[in-house]
Chains A and B, each alone.
Chain A
């Protein structure tokens, strides 16, 4: 008992307590610390009515009669004829409820507008199905601007008096249909998508159309519902503002991230300058100020392995980065329901596989979810912990990649880092727990972890989503500067990673050690970005996996003893340490030597 108390006393120093308290206070006021705010109203946009090339008598494709489209900051309402254009009525959702738009409003949009617009046409009569009797056709178009598509408790809904049928797109995933204010349950509707054509779909009991790919929705859809035995046909086209890549809009979305990178660079330079001053004044080290602080000195280490497992890891990380961020846009989302615990921000809805970090950080919303959803969330979390474990951190996490990139930059410039000692690593533990507490608990006290989370600055920006940043933006600067000097700085306090790590006893990825082969050279400990010391001091257990291990494989890469360390997946050792591969970089020198010897021997035999 006394020992435990002493241990706690050693770990929880006043400095650590101060850091924890500051973290907690900051996180409570995270929303007030604005780093970069995008406008969340329609200001800056204009709306025009456009008439597409009129093709006389072309009546078959009614979905193209009235629809919205985007061109940078200009929203166009497209109609087939001048007559339609003048007949169309435009409504906007504003803070004061639904308002009709005038020509003035269209040119300069009011900041009151919430980013959703609807256009209706007067009823028309036409024989749509060609059975002789004509039907009444009601046409409408709806659009949602990008910032309305985030996670919102209440989606933008218009007045059903305006137009009975309404398409509602929530959380960038769910497409549902309302009819006269009620969900259109268990009805067959015609879904027309610009991307994949027309199909008949049936809504479920909640009025949700299932199985529509995000790409289809993005391309523009229209839902046609024939009510009253087909006498009245209601049709609504729907267009979301797409976050097109590599446009001026995309650059705007990237702005906060660019600012972060810039500020981080400034911060790093300041730190370097400060260190130079300190080193110069040191009586012993002052002599080495030049060697220790010069940038990119000539000469490289050639002897150690260059390619191998680490190359694979880098490839995996880069592929994972792109598939997670752009995968949905390129391939469509594979599995909507499965969420893996990873700090690839799910506010970017283009991810190939969603992340459960949002749900974990908002556990209070679990009560609103259906049992099946909770089940899938928990099951996919558990499966991820067991099957992948912190392999996610080392191989898949985009935030990890960014930190590794900053680390590699430092390595390339040959700037010295900040080696943490055992003591400091020990003191990180309370901070880790505080982070975990904030991560899981902040939603219950009215906070939002997303406001602190540094991951929010990354994925959405790269995918072109405009996401306002609060404390998270400042935090990301700290993470990048920290990651520059200390490899995987954030991973050391990452709450999500630690949460996964807590289940390391059941994880299938493991680090194994042959305690006899180990010479305790400490190379693994020096290489470990997480500062796990037991990996080289352990002399009894063959399993050295800990909650902190991110499975990056650096220890095995740097281990010079044959089979002393290895990584295994469910008992199968697939990566072993070996002296031969560790020293494989010397093969070139050996070849050179062989050539030299051959030449010399030839000369000798010539002389004879």
Chain B
């Protein structure tokens, strides 16, 4: 595998000397490899640019959402890293169980590295087994190509051991870059599960501290929890606007906003969100809506939807639906649950973090995950959802497992569900379009029938 260039250094790049890793990485590439790399960059930026254009062209984008698009453009098209002070180290995280508060508390910048790139997926396809999920393939592709600064500049990767793919990914990443695997309890009903995660977080701290050289203190941790809390405060206001009927903002735009969260410093993100909220408030006052009265209100749940793989939300909104809610881990879920501090001690803060990142988490990787169904039901009620699109990435077994129960439960409520399986490529886009269009037509007809009954 000539592609896995940085594997060569794996022996040298231990956790201890990852500061020197940057120098070790630069090794002469062959001309072919360089061409390959250039082609990769061209293709990746082209795809990302296309989806950004489609995002921007989707009517109804508020002016205040442009900074979020700009961030996505910077990362995926301009190939820049996160905008931050020059000496700030970045820590790559995956899934939603890594407490960003801890990373901010040691003075580093977290980036969420779960990827949705089609181009990287194509590379990663050769590196991991065929049936592995595309997300892993895309991550491994980026890692192997060694061109994305967001990936390459990471001083440490924190991979929560959630589903099988992530587990094996952690192992593969470890061969290339400093990686820490964070053990997430497999179940959450027992008190001991949460207690165990507290211990895990305590063990994560020294690793993070080694990255920046700063030690965590009560003050820094309290500050970062507060900052995250403020982001969540703005987010909860944004959620209130999202509940408005007719809609004030398109769901695809909202998803772009949540994707931008991965690559923005927290304070900046909440500040931009505040401006967006201000604009939405104005829209609400001026009755400037982005949806019509009869437009079917759709919700997306299931496997993560990560930029630039936003074909499903785009399709929903391009074929006449309005995406009102998303219950995916790259969407609302990643920031929805607040950290509830009940004990003001240092240990109390750690407990509240462990609590916030395990108990309310609706990730299907947990053994017991009934609460996801209740959460979806509540979102259906809150957002007056008329249909649910259940997104399954090929190979994402854990989400596929939960489809059956959800279908049964929502059947009782009379909410139609459609299971949409997709991969990280554009080959299935027409097929998806037909299915989603039909689904939306069905809801429209159902709605019409209900209205005429009245």
Contacts and interface: CB of A to CB of B under 8 A. Distances in A.
B352 to A, nearest CB: 7
Contacts of A517: 378
Interface in A411-454: 411-412, 414-417, 419, 421-423
B225 A516 contact: no
B352 A526 contact: yes
B351 A526 contact: yes
Given A526-B351, A597-B271, A284 B345 contact: no
A583 interface: yes
B10 interface: no
A299 interface: yes
Contacts of A533: 191
A414 B359 contact: no
A301 B226 contact: yes
A303 interface: yes
Nearest to A421: B191
B374 A515 contact: yes
A294 B345 CA distance: 10
A520 interface: yes
A313 interface: no
A303 to B, nearest CB: 4
Contact of A597 (B236, B274, B345, B370): B274
Contact of A297 (B189, B219, B274): B219
Contacts of A590: 230, 233-234, 274
Given A303-B226, A522-B194, A597-B275, A417 B371 contact: no
Interface stretch (A39-47, A150-158, A285-293, A364-372): A285-293
Interface residues of A, number: 55
A301 B360 contact: no
A60 B170 CA distance: 102
A10 interface: no
Contacts of A560: 337-338, 340
B42 interface: no
Contacts of A412: 344
A519 B199 CA distance: 23
Nearest to B222: A299
A537 interface: yes
A417 B345 CA distance: 8
B216 A291 contact: yes
Interface residues on B, range: 35 or more
B59 interface: no
A519 B352 contact: no
Nearest to A424: B191
A298 B219 CA distance: 6
Nearest to A291: B346
A582 interface: yes
A586 B219 contact: no
A304 interface: yes
B225 A303 contact: yes
B226 A302 contact: yes
A537 B191 CA distance: 12
A589 interface: yes
A402 B195 CA distance: 29
A423 B345 contact: no
Contacts of B351: 419, 526
A527 interface: yes
A579 interface: yes
B348 interface: yes
Closest 6 CB pairs of A and B: A299-B219, A416-B345, A521-B360, A303-B229, A523-B340, A297-B218
Given A536-B359, A554-B342, A580-B236, 13 more contacts: A291-B217, A294-B218, A297-B219, A299-B217, A410-B345, A416-B346, A421-B195, A519-B375, A522-B360, A526-B355, A533-B191, A583-B233, A583-B236
23 contacts: A292-B347, A294-B218, A303-B225, A303-B233, A304-B341, A417-B347, A419-B343, A521-B340, A521-B355, A521-B359, A522-B355, A522-B359, A523-B355, A526-B340, A526-B351, A527-B340, A583-B229, A583-B232, A583-B236, A586-B226, A586-B229, A586-B233, A589-B233
